[in-house]
Chains A and B, each alone.
Chain A
Amino acid sequence: NAGVTQTPKFQVLKTGQSMTLQCAQDMNHEYMSWYRQDPGMGLRLIHYSVGAGITDQGEVPNGYNVSRSTTEDFPLRLLSAAPSQTSVYFCASSKEGGWMNTEAFFGQGTRLTVV
């Protein structure tokens, strides 16, 4: 049972380059989300999806695109990398449960450095 798998674990980009952070889950969860973690800021929501074909913006969406063509995959695209996007990125998934316990399962994180 792999849970939530993120690739790559580490990445260095040059300013202006584009790349895709991959996220896959094998738990048939409807809900997936991307967060970035910066020192002293906690985790901030970038984009989320409540099911295949449905995505929406979170707190800090600028500079990022997402799509959800399948239940399993939720890639995050950096269109034109900037040093301000240097961060640790986490993908998470959870089953829909309303007010019930909808524990989010996190991937191992991707440490991205933009130079």
Chain B
Amino acid sequence: AQKITQTQPGMFVQEKEAVTLDCTYDTSDPSYGLFWYKQPSSGEMIFLIYQGSYDQQNATEGRYSLNFQKARKSANLVISASQLGDSAMYFCAMHGSGYALNFGKGTSLLVTP
């Protein structure tokens, strides 16, 4: 069985600063994918970034990067130069052979001026 753990229920960051959201996972699948989604207060789920278990380099998408440490089974999201619009819930998720996404409980990020 797969398990995703997000240990930070809430985080604060000042505008223009960088912030790291933690995610650890557990799986017995040799091949898997890791995802981060953003959920603003409006409720929609927005895909941010993907990391495959066999990818040699850490994924980056604009201001988002993924600090992937396979041996430690961690996939932390780094948001650089935070903006007020980054205030939202952030979910780490993974899928294995079954394609079903398993989600963590999420981290609420508040960006302050």
Q: Which residues of A contact B (CB under 8 A)?
A: 31, 33, 35, 40-45, 48, 50, 58, 88, 90, 92, 94, 96, 98-106, 108-109
> At the interface, is chain B mostly helix, strand, loop or mixed?
loop
CB distance from B54 to the nearest CB of A (A): 7
Q: Do A41 and B105 touch (CB < 8 A)?
A: yes
Name the interface residues of B93-113: CB closer than 8 Å to any CB of A. 93, 95, 97-106
19 A-B contact pairs sorted by A residue (CB < 8 Å): A31-B99, A40-B9, A42-B103, A43-B91, A43-B93, A43-B101, A43-B103, A48-B98, A48-B100, A58-B100, A96-B99, A98-B97, A99-B52, A99-B54, A100-B33, A100-B52, A102-B95, A104-B35, A106-B44
Q: Does B7 contact A (CB under 8 A)?
A: no
Q: Are A104 and B33 in contact (CB under 8 A)?
A: no
- Determine whether the beta carbon of A44 is less than 8 Å from that of B99: no
* Chain B: interface residue total (CB-CB under 8 A): 28
Given the known interface contacts A106-B44, A108-B44, A109-B43, the answer about A101 and B103 at a Cβ–Cβ threshold of 8 Å is: no
Query: A102 touching B33 by the CB < 8 A rule?
Result: yes
Chain A residues lying within 8 Å of B93, measured Cβ to Cβ, are 43
* B31, B43, B50, B98: the one within 8 Å of A103 (CB): B50
**Measured CA separation A43–B101 after assembly (Å):** 9
